[in-house]
Chain A
Amino acid sequence: MLSSLGNPRQAAAQLMNFGLILSSAFMMWKGLSVITDSPSPIVVVLSGSMEPAFQRGDLLLLWNRNLMAETNVGEIVVYNVKGKDIPIVHRIVRKFGTGPDAKLLTKGDNNAADDTELYARGQDYLNRKDIVGSVVGYMPFVGYVTIMLSEHPWLKTVMLGIMGLVVVLQRE
Chain B
Amino acid sequence: MYSSIVRLQNAFGFFTTVAFVVAAFIAASDLLSPRTPSVGVLKTTNVQVVRGRPHYYSHKKEEYAIIKFSLDADLSSLFTWNTKQLFVYVTAEWPSAGGSGSGQNATNQAVIWDSIITSPSADHLANLGPIAMKKLKRSAQGKSIDPSRGKLSIKNQRPKYQITHPTGKLAEQDNVVLRLHYNVQPWVGILTWNQDVDFWKWKTFKNNLSKKFALPALKKKDEKKAR
The chain A residues found within 8 Å of chain B, CB to CB, are 51-53, 55, 69, 72-76, 91, 93-98, 103, 109-110, 113-114, 116-117, 124-125, 135-140, 166, 169-171
Contact = CB atoms under 8 A, between A and B. Distances in A.
A55 B193 contact: no
Contacts of A55: 125
A95 B109 contact: yes
B141 interface: no
A135 B190 CA distance: 9
B51 interface: no
B191 A135 contact: yes
Given A52-B84, A103-B166, A135-B191, A93 B111 contact: yes
DSSP class of A's interface residues: helix, strand, loop or mixed? loop
Contacts of B96: 96-97
A138 B163 contact: no
Contacts, number: 93
Contacts of B165: 96
Contacts of B44: none
9 closest A-B pairs (Cβ-Cβ)?
A52-B125, A93-B111, A94-B110, A73-B109, A53-B185, A95-B109, A52-B126, A96-B108, A110-B127
Contact of B191 (A69, A93, A96, A136): A136
Interface residues of B, number: 41
Nearest to B27: A137
B77 interface: no
Given A95-B109, A166-B9, 18 more contacts: A52-B84, A52-B126, A73-B91, A74-B87, A74-B183, A74-B193, A76-B183, A76-B191, A93-B110, A94-B109, A94-B111, A96-B107, A96-B108, A97-B108, A109-B114, A110-B127, A113-B55, A116-B55
A18 to B, nearest CB: 14
A68 B190 CA distance: 17
A169 B5 contact: yes
